[in-house]
Amino acid sequence: MQSKVIPTLGSHPNVQSDALSIFNVLQAGGVALVPTEVGYALLASSAEAIQKAFAAKRRRPGHAQGVIGTYQLHRALHLLHDEKLEMIRTLHQDLDMSFGIVAPFRADHPVLQQLTPATLANTIKDRTLGIFIGGGSLLAELGRLNDEVGQLVLGSSANLTGTGQKFRIEDIDQEIKDAADIIVDYGLQRYHIYGGRPSTIIDFEHMKALRIGSSYELLRERLHKYWGVELPEDPLYTSNSDIGEKRKGEIAENRTTPGTG
């Protein structure tokens, strides 16, 4: 397996080179196991690669899947008013946030025509399309390469279905690794602090939280602060100062309690 892992032993990450290697694997119809802020993910572009990734995850047929892309791809595909597009741009580009966007889409857009009818049917739900726009330089460079040639990439978390996000290559099940044609090991990923949560997903047409995930409390506060949007509070992670202080106290107590590690 080591031969398909980058960076190779003794070397370090190189975003431009690593993104190009991933891009080439995807173009050749392969599966890539890559790091994202919200955990490692399996990426694929061809119908065969998508099926291979889903089989490795033991995911049932017909399960929904999402596009992994850039703000530019989202803007090209999603049908939203300009103020919503600017809201998303600000959150993603100016405030460096990663999240999933669900919104109506341009069904006749050429980039969607590369999907088989079955794959497209599993990608859309209730006439909406989900696109994850991730942070970090690797996804940004990979997204740029994909956009240049109009390559659409679908992705899913690199874990057996129902077992939660994985934030280190060492923690990923072997059958998931075996399904990948390239594995990019960038170590522990940023949002491991959320206890295995996946990405947050927002329906931007109706301004509803479809999934409370990593960094939801940050997204919620910023949507309220700058645009007056009201979303439900996260029951576990909050920007409320009183609850925040309570959590700090609980953490401090755990640190001083014998046997807690």
Specify if 211 maps to a domain. yes
Q: Which of 8, 4, 11, 17 is nearest to 141 (CA)?
A: 17
Whole-angstrom Cα distance, residue 180 to residue 4? 8
Specify if 236 maps to a domain. no
Specify if 245 maps to a domain. no
Predicted local confidence at residue 258, as pLDDT: 45
CATH, residue 215: 3.90.870.10
Specify if 244 maps to a domain. no
Specify if 91 maps to a domain. yes
Count other C-beta atoms under 10 Å from residue 171's C-beta. 15
Whole-angstrom Cα distance, residue 186 to residue 189? 8
Whole-angstrom Cα distance, residue 59 to residue 214? 22
Total domains in the chain come to 1
Locus of tokens 């309690």: 257
End-to-end CA distance of the chain: 34
pTM as predicted: 0.88
Specify if 254 maps to a domain. no
User: 176 and 52 in contact (C-beta within 8 Å)?
Assistant: no
Whole-angstrom Cα distance, residue 191 to residue 198? 9
Structural domain of 158: 2-231
Per-residue pLDDT of the chain (261 residues; tens, 9 = 90+): 668 999 998 899 999 999 999 999 999 999 999 999 999 999 999 989 988 988 888 876 656 678 999 999 999 999 999 999 999 999 999 999 999 999 999 999 999 998 888 888 888 888 999 999 998 999 999 999 999 999 999 999 999 888 889 999 999 999 999 999 999 999 999 999 998 899 999 999 999 999 999 999 999 999 999 999 999 999 998 766 444 444 555 545 554 444 433
Predicted local confidence at residue 63, as pLDDT: 65
Specify if 21 maps to a domain. yes
* C-alpha pair distances (Å), 210 with each of 20, 76, 97, 187, 224: 33, 22, 17, 29, 17
Specify if 222 maps to a domain. yes
